[in-house]
Copies of this chain bind each other. A is one copy, B any other.
Amino acid sequence: MKFESATIKDIAKALNLSTSTVSRALRGSYEISSETKKQVLEYAEKINYRPNPIALSLKERRTRAIGVVVSEIANNFFSQAINGIESIAYNRGYHVIITQSHESHEREKVNVEHMAARGVDGLLISLSSESVDIAHLRELHEKGMPIVFFDRVSDEIETHTVTANNYWGSYHATEHLIYQEFKRIAHITASPHLSITRERLEGYKDALAKHNIPFREDLIRYCPHGGMKVPEVEEAIGSLMKAKNKPDAFFGGGDRLTMTCFGILKRMKLKKEPGFIGFTNTAVGDLFSPAITVIKQPAFEIGQSATEFLIQMIESKRPITEFQHKVLETELVIRESSKKEAVAKREA
């Protein structure tokens, strides 16, 4: 089974011209008589000629494609970010190749290497939770591959980054819970070496400090798989609820994590329902019971900005030395799950 397409040679043969003439005619070179041009153009149109992008890539050493690595597309944040990426890329004439790391460092590496070999012009990446060692990226970066980090960034590579303001998002969320008079706020978060984990943890800590609530390490739980493995989260919550002083509120540190967490807590049917808040970009937070308070990230815009930076790098003649670190604000959407009165009422 193969699939043949018309080539420049077919045109040349049919019109008794050389391939070079045809090529030049197609791109409207001034060296070709307008009559020949017309002939070629018409015939090309007739047989629906399309230049072979593979041959072009080989020749020009560029593909007009950008590669994307996210952990999961089945994650509201990432699917929205991808839509942002596409919106810019298509307008600028780039195609987007999406891959998933499934939070696996190995998978991330394989994907990145394949896309690099395949000749993408640049890479947009949000690190997997397993990625401590990013030698595979550094190597590529040193060879000149444009790379932009978004969401989960690394400072081991000097380049543009685009993130949400995780610190303030987390700070405000935590402060909101404090205002609602929750005293023992547990923070269920992802792998501690992710930038987002650290930033969100800092915001949480600082909000506590601001309100003179001592930070307690035993209220923090790290789930390296970021909510993908339910037992991991169950274990985290279980251990928290077994303690003498149970938390009275939970704060989820990522999209999947927030969902998983919320589900587990709900299924536990606790007598004393805890307050809940989480980072997630779900569109249906108000359909939940209780309607869930969320920190929403400007995912679409993050995708857009990252893509703009990347294309700018790709198309720049000289190496870039000044890098930007764009930070976009989050939005706290307050609903029922974080309100003390609401919680109290549901318990009554």
Contact = CB atoms under 8 A, between A and B. Distances in A.
A289 interface: yes
A287 B280 CA distance: 15
A41 interface: no
Interface string A108-120: 0000011011110
A52 interface: yes
A240 interface: no
Total copies of this chain within the assembly: 2
Interface residues of A, number: 59
Contacts of A245: none
Nearest to A115: B95
Contact of A284 (B5, B145, B263): B263
Interface in A42-84: 50, 52-55, 57-58, 61-63, 72-74, 76, 79-80, 82-83
A95 B117 contact: no
A244 interface: no
Contacts of A284: 259, 262-263, 288
A30 interface: no
B100 A97 contact: no
Contacts of A266: 286-287
Contact of A144 (B3, B146, B286, B291): B3
Interface string A261-290: 011001100000000000000011011111
A285 to B, nearest CB: 10
Interface stretch (A181-189, A206-214, A215-223, A311-319): A311-319
A345 interface: no
Contact of A117 (B50, B62, B76): B50
Interface string A284-307: 101111110000000000000000
A119 to B, nearest CB: 5
A95 B74 contact: no
Given A57-B54, A58-B54, A118-B54, A3 B145 contact: yes
Interface string A10-34: 0000000000000000000000000
Contact of A316 (B1, B55, B283): B1
Given A58-B55, A117-B50, A287 B262 contact: yes
Nearest to A140: B3
Contact of A313 (B1, B4, B80): B1
A261 to B, nearest CB: 11
Given A50-B117, A95-B118, A288-B288, 15 more contacts: A1-B313, A4-B144, A52-B117, A53-B118, A53-B119, A55-B58, A58-B58, A73-B73, A74-B79, A74-B80, A79-B79, A98-B98, A263-B287, A287-B288, A289-B290
14 contacts: A2-B144, A54-B54, A54-B58, A73-B73, A73-B74, A74-B76, A74-B79, A86-B100, A97-B98, A262-B284, A262-B287, A287-B288, A288-B288, A289-B289
9 closest A-B pairs by beta carbon, nearest first, are A289-B289, A74-B79, A3-B144, A98-B98, A3-B145, A73-B73, A54-B57, A287-B288, A54-B58
